[in-house]
């Protein structure tokens, strides 16, 4: 059933066509990834679907009664509204009435609360209060917390809760995973898989969209191509399409060159020219002029590796770090050698950025020591873009005001260098405030990659970047000879780049695993499996002295029932674990997206089994 129909939609900004007679249909049950490079107009396309902006030409037809919710790319600015109020606003008038009622209840003004209570009764609105409370619990949001106190990832959770509470028929999500930690992304991925409405997503997270979508809208040079397939098949088909386009353009250019030669030679044997052929040539010239060539790839070259760097970059010995009574690092040690590529993952607020500051001597550990190489030359990518002056010209930010810069031992003009990152000469001279989020990230990368460095620290570099730039950045980092420390929530990016992963598990606990994100999951599962017999044995032994000493107490009826039920729970859990382990033993299954969910499910079952054995030992 068609929900939204686009009929020859066109839109231009200044002289740049963003959408060129785009036509398509969004059907009920579609889960669509909107793919395209930074600056191609993906967010603009979303705003047209949401009704936020009008196209210059064409028609947008929305089925009567269809409800559309839109999560914008940028999180809301600081404000002092409570999360309860923000989420309730998604319900419109009844939501605002409920928010007022809750406010007066909270401050103890029962008379005014009673007035709003009557309004809620008249509108039969108590069901909506339960909906608000349920979705706040689902996203683990504190109703009385202020938005201004939250990080970017938590703000996106709030706005997603506000969008979902409307129970929309069509949900539009623009970069929903930005600033979210991996756990939150996995939760959102599972939620969207189960979502029964229609979905349109813009995301650079390849693992995320590959596990959700069944259709791809590809926006390229103002045109929209529809791929009736999942993301992985789309990648193959898109490559084939671009290859065919290159061949067709080469043939066209060759024909045009031949015709240009013909018209200049004239016709010796005839007094009149072939006017039809002349008209065809003029048409070909016009087609060549109108053809919007595909933008070139970002030319990212490897950073210079200063050979003066010593083999040991960091030696971390039993460090701890506390702040305001909160322990972020507890008794952690590791060696970082020259050329290592280390990924860092952990939940929002677990201390990833703090850990980086400890390594770079910006913070001092509460306990322990960190020895650093004296030859470190640092290039640092800051996820918050704190180094960006919005009024500075892009070229001045990268070059420090110079016309030419040294890159890879060669002198390059700054505008020519920025063209390698897809910035035009006009953009190079524009103030940074004019740039989109993805363009700002590309500009930061351009500055970092122009500097000689033997230590590269990237804090969430993938936010807002398009997939092609991501893949090129991956290639550069794989070839980079220096030391890399990478904070990222992008599972595919971590898998493709890093050689080991440092995981901040919370409460100051930090562990290091060989390999990328998928390797970490496997090793974590193995660790739980190895520790399980030790826990059982320990628990059993600890119960024995109690029994022999005559200190065993009589079990209550509830405890007796629990003891009676435990063998069945253990048997059921062991069967489920065996089934999942059998699935994971198949190499083909392990390559599928479902394998990650299976690994997470397995880890939970292992934890449950260990808990059942502990309970059994205690009750026995």
Choose the weakest-confidence range: 135-139, 314-318, 379-383, 475-479: 379-383
Radius of gyration of the chain (CA): 30
pLDDT computed for residue 344 by the predictor = 94
346: left (phi over 0), alpha (psi -120 to 50) or beta: left
Q: C-alpha angle 78/83/88, rounded to 5°? A: 120
| Residues contacting 58, CB < 8 A, separation 6+ | 6, 7, 8, 9, 10, 21, 22, 23
Give the pLDDT confidence of 142-190 residue by residue, as tens digits. Answer: 888 888 888 777 888 888 888 888 889 999 999 888 878 888 888 889 8
Looking at the chain, the whole-number percentage of residues with pLDDT higher than 70 is 82
Per the model's pLDDT, the better-predicted residue between 593 and 131 turns out to be: 131
Residues 217-267 pLDDT 10s:
998 888 898 999 999 899 888 888 777 777 877 777 777 676 666 565 554
d(CA 306, CA 449): 14
Among residues 110, 144, 499, 458, which one has the least CA distance to residue 303? Answer: 458
What pLDDT, in 10s, does the model give residues 289-303?
A: 555 445 555 555 555
Which of 333, 330, 312, 319 is CA-nearest to residue 369?
A: 319
Cβ pair 447, 379 in contact under 8 A:
no
| Burial class of 66 by CB neighbour count within 10 A (0 to 12, 13 to 18, 19+) | middle
Whole-number average pLDDT of the chain: 80
Helix (H) or strand (E) holding 119: helix 110-122
Give the C-alpha separation, 213 to 193, whole Å: 9
**Structural contact between residues 376 and 520, judged by C-beta atoms closer than 8 angstroms:** no
The answer to whether 22 and 9 have CB atoms below 8 angstroms apart is yes
3-state DSSP call for residue 509? Answer: strand
Calculate the dihedral angle through the C-alpha atoms of 207, 213, 216, 221, rounding to the nearest 10 degrees.
Answer: -50
The pTM of this model reads 0.66
- Please answer whether residues 487 and 460 qualify as being in contact, where contact means their C-beta atoms are separated by less than 8 angstroms: yes
Q: Which two tokens stand for residue 224?
A: 């929209």
Q: In sequence order, which residues have a C-beta less than 8 Å from that of residue 469 and are 6 or more positions away?
A: 37, 38, 298, 438, 442
Query: 3-class secondary structure for 206-258?
Result: HHHHHCCCCEEEEEECCEEEEECCCHHHHHHHHHHHHHHHHHHHHHHHHHHHH
The pLDDT of residue 535: 47
């Amino acid at each position: 059933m068609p929900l939204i129909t686009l009929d020859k939609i066109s839109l231009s900004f200044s002289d740049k066509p963003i959408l060129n007679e785009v036509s398509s249909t969004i059907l009920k049950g579609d889960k669509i990834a909107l793919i395209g490079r930074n600056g191609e107009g993906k967010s603009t396309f979303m705003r047209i679907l949401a009704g936020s902006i009008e196209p210059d030409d064409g028609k947008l037809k929305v089925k009567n009664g269809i409800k559309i919710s839109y999560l914008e790319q940028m999180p809301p600015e600081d404000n002092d509204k409570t999360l309860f109020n923000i989420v309730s606003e998604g319900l419109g008038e009844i939501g605002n009435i409920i928010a007022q009622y809750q406010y007066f209840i909270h401050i103890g003004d029962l008379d005014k609360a009673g007035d709003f209570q009557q309004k809620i009764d008249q509108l039969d609105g108590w069901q909506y209060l339960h909906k608000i409370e349920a979705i706040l619990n689902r996203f683990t949001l504190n109703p009385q917390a202020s938005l201004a106190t939250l990080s970017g990832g938590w703000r996106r959770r709030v706005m997603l809760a506000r969008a979902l509470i409307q129970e929309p028929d069509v949900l539009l999500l623009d970069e929903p995973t930005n600033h979210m930690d991996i756990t939150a992304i996995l939760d959102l991925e599972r939620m969207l898989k189960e979502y029964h409405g229609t979905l349109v997503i813009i995301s650079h997270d390849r693992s995320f969209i590959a596990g959700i979508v069944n259709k791809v809208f590809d926006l390229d040079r103002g045109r929209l191509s529809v791929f009736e397939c999942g993301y992985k098949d789309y990648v193959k088909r898109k490559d084939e399409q671009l290859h065919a386009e290159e061949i067709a353009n080469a043939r066209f250019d060759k024909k045009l060159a031949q015709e240009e030669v013909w018209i200049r030679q004239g016709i010796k044997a005839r007094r009149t020219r072939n006017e039809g052929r002349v008209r065809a040539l003029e048409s070909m010239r016009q087609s060549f002029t109108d053809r919007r060539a595909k933008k070139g790839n970002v030319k990212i070259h490897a950073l210079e590796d200063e050979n003066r760097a010593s083999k040991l970059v960091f030696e971390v010995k039993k460090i701890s770090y506390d702040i305001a009574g909160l322990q972020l690092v507890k008794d952690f040690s590791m060696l970082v050698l020259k050329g290592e590529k280390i990924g860092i993952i952990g939940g929002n607020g677990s201390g990833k950025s703090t850990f980086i500051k400890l390594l770079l001597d910006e913070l001092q550990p509460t306990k322990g020591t960190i020895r650093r190489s004296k030859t470190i030359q640092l290039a640092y990518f800051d996820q918050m873009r704190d180094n960006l002056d919005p009024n500075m010209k892009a070229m001045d930010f990268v070059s420090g005001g110079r016309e030419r810069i040294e890159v890879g031992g060669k002198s390059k003009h700054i505008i020519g260098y920025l063209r390698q990152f897809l910035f035009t000469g006009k953009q190079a001279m524009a103030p940074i405030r004019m740039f989109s989020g993805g363009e700002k990230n590309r500009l930061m990368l351009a500055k970092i990659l122009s500097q000689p460095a033997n230590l590269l620290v990237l804090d969430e570099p993938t936010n807002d970047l398009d997939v092609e730039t991501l893949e090129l950045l991956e290639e550069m980092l794989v070839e980079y000879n220096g030391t890399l420390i990478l904070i990222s929530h992008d599972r595919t990016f971590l898998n493709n780049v890093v050689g080991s992963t440092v995981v901040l598990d919370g409460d100051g606990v930090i562990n290091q695993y060989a390999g990328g994100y998928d390797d970490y999951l496997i090793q974590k599962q193995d660790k739980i499996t190895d520790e399980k017999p030790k826990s059982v044995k320990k628990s059993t032994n600890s119960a024995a002295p109690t029994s022999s000493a005559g200190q065993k107490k009589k079990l209550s009826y509830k405890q007796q029932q629990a003891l009676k039920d435990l063998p069945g729970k253990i048997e059921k859990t062991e069967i489920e674990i065996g089934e999942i382990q059998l699935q994971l033993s198949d190499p083909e299954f392990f390559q599928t997206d479902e394998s990650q969910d299976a690994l997470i499910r397995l880890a939970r079952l292992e934890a449950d089994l260990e808990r059942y054995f502990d309970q059994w030992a205690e009750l026995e």
